[in-house]
Structure 1
Amino acid sequence: MCKGVNINWNNLGFGYIKTDFRYISYWKDGKWDEGNLITDNMITISEASTALHYGQQCFEGLKAYRTKNGGIQLFRPYENAKRMNRSANRLLMPEIPKEKFVDAVRQVVRANEGYVPPYGTGGTLYIRPLLIGVGDNIGVGPASEYLFCVFCLPVGPYFKGGMVPVNFIVAEYDRAAPCGTGAAKVGGNYAASLYPYHLAKKGGFADCVYLDPQTHTKIEEVGSANFFGITKKNEFVTPKSPSILPSITKYSLLYLAQEYLNLRATQRDVLIDNLDEFKEAGACGTAAVITPIGGIHYKGKLHIFHSDTAVGPVTTELYNTLCGIQFGDIQAPDGWIIEI
């Protein structure tokens, strides 16, 4: 279905590129319609839509990968479907049946197949499902109508020329409130992070480290990604908190660390005053897969982990293992890969 695509695959960044098709479906009178592919990338909604006034919206992010034999595969899309429904429940929006979600993703990838970067370029097709409250609603309350959309765009590798460690600074601001929406993938969480991110960049750092909102003693997230550390006892550790977004990449790394790398893997409190327990650290998420952390600036001091110029060996092995699975070069655990 795709038109001819003329893209310099070796010069792709992480910016919006209009592709040919996107999927759209409406929820009205208590049910979803069948949904269909459209070519228009403009969405028209009422000025009184709850998504615009009261933040009733959530979204997801996943990727399609070109394999060595030219095939295309998705990485754990049912986990994205489950997470979107958890976010929807938190904001009183209707769930999207998991099969409908995955079918919509598959339709969009098939229709835009020519935009999936070739194997070996490091590029992927980034897929953005979103769910928003629409209709004529001016009172504070859930909408009576909803729109589910899935679009995609080709993106290049996050690190051109290979992974490099970056430094972060501990934020004075909170990413989420106790018992708030920190565990849901909703736009309000990201809006709240824009100013702390601006301050971090202004100070010469890649982004912020957010501490727990109640005690400000425990690491929760790193920018818009999840934190992990490799202890000096070869333990893979990620923070545990009800305010953390449950990253699909993080849970994948927890499994791979234990089953593929034979490390002990655990979720527990990570005290900001105990950074010395880690020999390596990183941030993980869909966009970069893993961002190695060179150092964390806290209380006027930059704490360096493995190195601020070189990536640690365990972090490198985790990255290569996960990417190998995503691009089809390493055998995946059962159920992780869906072929297009």
Structure 2
Amino acid sequence: MSKNVNIDWANLGFDYIKTDLRYISRWKDGKWDEGQLVEDNMLTISEASTALHYGQQCFEGLKAYRTKEGKIQLFRPDRNANRMIDTCRRILMPEVSVEKFIDACIQVVKANEHFVPPYETGATLYLRPFVIGVGSNIGVKPAPEYIFSVFCIPVGPYFKGGMVPVNFNISEYDRAAPYGTGAAKVGGNYAGSLYPHELAAKKGFADCVYLDPATHTKIEEVGAANFFGITKDNKFVTPKSPSILPSVTKYSLLHIAKEYLKMEVEERDVFIDNLDEFKEAGACGTAAVITPIGGIEYKDKLHVFHSETEVGPVTKELYNTLYGIQRGDVEAPEGWIVEVK
């Protein structure tokens, strides 16, 4: 680490911390400029920007990890880059190429290297790439200009006292619409989830489970994360739907379950009435990797999976393997790790 930063690594949460430099690139006249690192963390945009009025914006989330040897590595940034391309296409924003996306992330990590937490802390450097529509435009149409930016913040380990299962209830609200933007990582999906989350939290749950919007019979997502279950005959199962966000973590776990743990894997419908088929369940995403699900309340009854207090053995092995790959302790599949040099 080249500079000393006054950070209590052991007590980091998931809060905004202004780091030294962030990357910014502007799209104008049909092309992106080269982009640059800047100190200013404030954006000045037109009051008529489409990002403010019509939700023409998207974002990604990924992490940089410091290994035991002191190297810094990104985990599957190409997957985030491709997902951002898909989102940009869906809401008519110019695509950011995979090369530009990864280069921007590497530049930001290198420029803020002293903010990458030490290996032994379990903390990481969280990267937030985003694209917003800007420029003076009040009509309901794509923006005349765009900004692509990446900033970073050091964040603490999600489970400070070790992984603990949490409970969820079923939301009567929909997270996405059939043929809507559920598979795109746009801010509107998250804005719409704030109220259902608050209702679940007031009842003592960690968050809520969203069912498919068409029939309300199938599990789609768990809060802002993807669902998975381990069946009693040891299969890794995760829901399949065109309105689920394609989680980088979920597809990594599918690969790990199949190739590392030698399990059968299935992407298929997961009916809420069939919770009994699972001996373990979890929610997965960038922030926590895996959040073990203790139980799901459905029809006023709490269905408990493995335990409300103990993490199931398969969930624990999946977590340890994936987290080990991310931190450089377990050999990664080819192409999963990009070293920041």
Give the Å deviation of 1:233: 0.6
| Distance change (3 Å), C-alpha of 1:289 and 1:204 | same
Superposed counterparts of 1:71-86, under 5 Å: 71-86=71-86
- In the alignment, what sits opposite 2:260? 260
Indicate if the aligned counterparts of 1:2 and 1:20 stay in contact, CA closer than 8 A.
no
- In the alignment, what sits opposite 1:152? 152
Structure-1-length-normalised TM-score: 0.99
Structure 2 runs not aligned, ≥5 long: none
Indicate if the aligned counterparts of 1:22 and 1:151 stay in contact, CA closer than 8 A.
yes
- In the alignment, what sits opposite 2:17? 17
Superposed counterparts of 1:113-192, under 5 Å: 113-192=113-192
Q: How many Å separate the matches in 1 of 2:227 and 2:192?
A: 19
Structure-2-length-normalised TM-score: 0.99
Secondary structure of 2:121's aligned partner: coil
Q: How many Å separate the matches in 2 of 1:315 and 1:94?
A: 39
Give the Å deviation of 1:2: 6.7
Q: Deviations over 1:212-265 (max 9, x none)?
A: 000000000000000000000100000000000000000000000000001101
Secondary structure of 1:307's aligned partner: coil
Amino acid in structure 2 at the alignment position of 1:50: T
Give the Å deviation of 1:144: 1.0
Indicate if the aligned counterparts of 1:2 and 1:112 stay in contact, CA closer than 8 A.
no
1:206 and 2:221 aligned: no
Give the Å deviation of 1:3: 5.0
Q: How many Å separate the matches in 1 of 2:339 and 2:278?
A: 37
Superposed counterparts of 1:1-340, under 5 Å: 3-340=3-340
Secondary structure of 1:120's aligned partner: helix
Give the Å deviation of 1:4: 3.1
Aligned residues with identical type, % of pairs: 77
Q: How many Å separate the matches in 1 of 2:279 and 2:217?
A: 20
Q: What count of residue pairs does the alignment treat as equivalent?
A: 340
Indicate if the aligned counterparts of 1:3 and 1:20 stay in contact, CA closer than 8 A.
no
Secondary structure of 2:15's aligned partner: coil
Give the Å deviation of 1:210: 0.1
Secondary structure of 1:280's aligned partner: strand
Q: How many Å separate the matches in 2 of 1:12 and 1:265?
A: 35
Q: How many Å separate the matches in 1 of 2:44 and 2:313?
A: 49
CA RMSD of aligned residues (A): 0.8
Structure 1 runs not aligned, ≥5 long: none
Q: Deviations over 1:179-228 (max 9, x none)?
A: 00000000000000000000000000000100000000000000000000
Give the Å deviation of 1:177: 0.7
Q: How many Å separate the matches in 1 of 2:281 and 2:17?
A: 32
Secondary structure of 2:94's aligned partner: coil
